[in-house]
Amino acid sequence: MQYRRAQIEGGTFFFTVVTYRRAKIFAIVENIELLRQSFKEVMKDHPFSIDAFVLLPNHLHYLWTLPQGDSDFSSRWRLIKSAFSRKCRNDFKPPRSPARLKKKEQTLWQRRFWEHVIRSEEDYTHHVEYIHYNPVKHGLVKAPGDWEYSSFHRHVRRGLYDLQWGACGRIEFEPEVGRE
């Protein structure tokens, strides 16, 4: 099957990236730091802005804006995943299946990722909110402000959110917002 990726120079994209077999590799603090280092390393040569993110134990969501004239988010994800996989200790890796070995792929990540082109300010807002509410959705915390590995606190400092946003009552999203 041929996958078609959006090719929009300077575009803003929402991503879902999942660990292989939903292994909870980001429940380990050292792995979170390795992922941060991997992002920094890749961003030196392949810049982009991270508008919002959340890192959960077995998946992550990011909202990126690429530089004008650049549409290559796939290479960035490949480089980030590769950099992380090279540094991650082997005892954190799930067992390899024979089919994966044939392709010489790392078994820390699912092979592909899901992306969505942000098409409007409203679409942007819905995806940022989805990202920040995701730890609540998965039952990890009672409020977005209780989750450390998210851009939520950065948005609060900038005055874009009240610290109590998402703490009172369940937030529902349209089906097209944030797929996992």
**Any idea which residues carry the catalytic annotation?**
149
Q: Which residues of 77-116 are buried (b: 16+ CB within 10 A; e: fewer)?
A: bebbbebbbeebeeeeeeeeeeeeeeeeebbbbbeebebb
Task: Tell me which residue has tokens 């929402």.
Answer: 14
Asked whether 166 and 173 are in contact (CB, 8 A), the reply is: no
Instruction: Provide the pairing of β-strand 59-65 with 114-117.
Output: unpaired
Instruction: Provide the pairing of β-strand 59-65 with 49-55.
Output: antiparallel
Nearest CA to 91 out of 23, 32, 22 is that of 23
Task: Tell me which residue has tokens 């992306």.
Answer: 115
CB proximity list for 178: less than 8 A, separation 6 or greater: 14, 16, 61, 116, 127, 130, 131, 134
What is the residue type of 36?
A: R
